Chains A and B, each alone.
Chain A
Amino acid sequence: MKTKSEFLRKAAVKAGDKIHRAKILKAITTYTGKVEGMKSAQYHDWQQARSLAAQTKNYVLRHLPDLLEQFERNITANGAQVLWAEDAAEAREHIRRIFRERKVRKVVKSKSMTTEEIEVNELLGGEGIEVLESDLGELIVQLAGEKPYHIVTPAMHKSRQDIAALFHEKLGVPASSSAEELTMAARDHLRSAYVTADAGITGANFLLAEGAIVMTENEGNGRLTMSCPPVHVVIAGIEKILPAMENLALFLPLLTTSGTGQQITCYNSVVRGPRAAGEQDGPQEMIVILLDNGRSAMYGEPEFQHALRCIRCGACLNACPVYRTVGGHAYGTTYQGPIGSVITPHMRGMAEFSHLSSASSLCGACTQVCPVQIDLHHLLLKNRAKATEEKRGVDLWQVGFAGWARVMTSRKRLEGVRRLAVAGEASLRVILPHALRKRLPLPAKKSFARLWQEGAGR
């Protein structure tokens, strides 16, 4: 209940904040313009690319256990270590142990939603380990003491002026700095960290069953994060698997076209393992933590399984009119927007998070843009039905709809209720909840049915 009332409160505040709405709309419109341009520039047939990607991901899901084992076998053969984490607690425990054993005091981290999911920063803070975000967007939200606003562009809600003010306060740069100067300031802030850090943590955009992790980025900081420090820890959801390198030809451009409207990101790294004998660089150790954290529960539900096709491109957030209205922080979840509202109730509990599935007009804009054809808005609908089924105790909506169904199965009953409603309209309105009172229109004096009986329309 608390999660829900928090959402309602935050969403209402943001919904009324026109400056926020204009800022987000401007940022998103810039992206969506690029995305649409790139779809037509880069693809003969975008729809076919989507369906091919969906099919590939379906194949992956059908063979998921097998492909994960292949991944483990192959990357272990390359010298990496694989650990499995059933939930966030186990993943945190792995990390705690790894860092304690190696006496890690300082960590650089590059953008990874899975680390947000298991709250790595909070964990490391508690261990007295210093954490530096190397992704510019993540660094901005870290300095501001906030959570990522968007799964792809974590600082989307900050204008250049906001960032300049923040960097002025935290890093001492002039408040009038240009975008380039700000980027340089961030770079200076980070560069020394790569060589002094004891470990680097990254996520992965894809895991290749043939034994590699794949990371896409635009700044090159991720590459430094995984190659400079002596230990590289990767945290990735088990659904991130693709069979082989050749699948990247489809998936890398698909991801960036949908996410940021780029042909491909500036840096794309395929890492097969730690530094091998005779190699010049790379970490001495590479440890991949495969995170379940509710994913196999979704995997076990045939109706919802295909949500695991998600490649976290962020397109559904940008397309969503609710996201555009309430912004990324109102959700109170790691994954915001439509995909977050679909998967969070499964990953973290239907009772606590099903309100997110209801917080949608079911417009379907998300489904239309999803590059792996996830039926997002229909999954929201299915979540609602599931939440109703699982609900315990008295629910006013349930009582209301039961009464409604009784009325709506007979014209006579409907006209009867209607007569009462019209007669008692004024007093009835008073007892209705405020939102209903405001949004419920006045019933017409006579129904269509009644007017028709009286001869209208003939």
Chain B
Amino acid sequence: MPSDQPLSLFIPCLIDQVYPEMGFSMVRVLHRLGCEVRYRDEQTCCGQPAFNAGHQREAKTVARHFIAVFQDDEELVCPSGSCTAMVRNFYPGLLGDAGRKQAGAVFEFSEYLARADLIGKIKGSFPAKIAFHNSCHSYRELGIAEVPMQIIAQIDGVELCQPAGEPVCCGFGGVFSVKFSAIAGAMADTRLQMFLDAGAEVVVSNDPGCIMHLRQECTDRGLSMRILHLAEFLDEAMADHAGGRQV
């Protein structure tokens, strides 16, 4: 279980480059829960974009860099189900033993909270109708199902408005949403409609890719619905509870 070493932050490239605030939200939440974290700034990306597009050689090059950066760390926490799945499920096939070693060290954010037995410590309030969008990789590659919803339900004032049925893809899919933007956009439209029909005011997700895609769809439709990362949601909820933000 959790070791004495500080927890190492694995910040996906999309968060590093586009949504750094999601990363800092995660850091604040972890701090409030008493976790010590470290950040290795040589990290860049796990290699997933190339891997999913079928460019194995480039994916391997970047994955090796990843392993070199994190070789001394026992536990990594990552605010993306998809990037966690890349390391855990695909590094072994891509890099053999080195990949296998790395695979066992990475945990998605909600997974880590459960693993470190921190869920009970989360106190906060967020009065709103919330739906959770589980990313496909989080659900199907990592098997994360109930935990994020348990976490959300723990927050005061939350009314969960989950659409019926299994998690449905939002249409992001990395390079897919660029190569096939019309299909990807229509998929986001379908997904967003499910949330609207369920009466949700805020959608919380655990993957920055899905969040970007759904936010884009909201912009296209002129909707003001908020799409938040689980870390942002908790950050806001806990900050209110603690009577102000602490950084």
* A→B interface (CB under 8 Å): 8, 11-12, 15-16, 21, 25, 321-322, 324-326, 357-365, 367-368, 381, 383-388, 397-398, 401-402, 404-405, 407-411, 414, 418, 435-436, 438-444, 446-449, 451-453, 456-457
Contacts and interface: CB of A to CB of B under 8 A. Distances in A.
Interface of B is mostly: helix
A92 to B, nearest CB: 34
Q: Which 7 A-B pairs have the closest CB atoms?
A: A361-B173, A384-B54, A363-B169, A363-B136, A364-B140, A12-B182, A405-B58
Interface of A is mostly: helix
A363 to B, nearest CB: 4
B150 interface: no
A417 to B, nearest CB: 10
A361 B176 contact: yes
A457 B39 contact: yes
B18 interface: yes
B24 to A, nearest CB: 5
Interface string B86-130: 000000000000000000000000000000000000000000000
Interface residues of B, number: 62
Interface of B: 11, 13, 15-21, 23-24, 27-28, 39, 41-45, 47, 49-59, 61-62, 65, 136-137, 140-141, 166, 168-169, 171-173, 175-187, 190, 212-213, 216, 247
A325 B183 contact: yes
B163 to A, nearest CB: 13
A325 B190 contact: yes
Given A404-B50, A408-B65, A367 B140 contact: yes
Nearest to A326: B183
A381 B180 contact: no
B136 A365 contact: yes
Given A361-B176, A363-B169, A409-B61, A451 B18 contact: no
Contacts of A360: 173, 176
B181 A439 contact: yes
Contact of A448 (B23, B140, B178): B23
A288 B156 CA distance: 67
B44 A362 contact: no
30 contacts: A16-B182, A21-B190, A321-B190, A324-B190, A361-B169, A361-B173, A361-B177, A362-B52, A363-B136, A365-B166, A365-B168, A383-B54, A387-B54, A388-B56, A401-B49, A404-B49, A404-B58, A404-B62, A405-B58, A405-B59, A408-B62, A409-B61, A409-B62, A409-B65, A411-B43, A418-B17, A439-B177, A442-B18, A448-B11, A457-B23
Nearest to A357: B54
B140 A368 contact: yes
B173 A362 contact: yes
A362 B213 CA distance: 15
A365 B169 contact: yes
Nearest to A433: B178
Contacts of B166: 365, 368
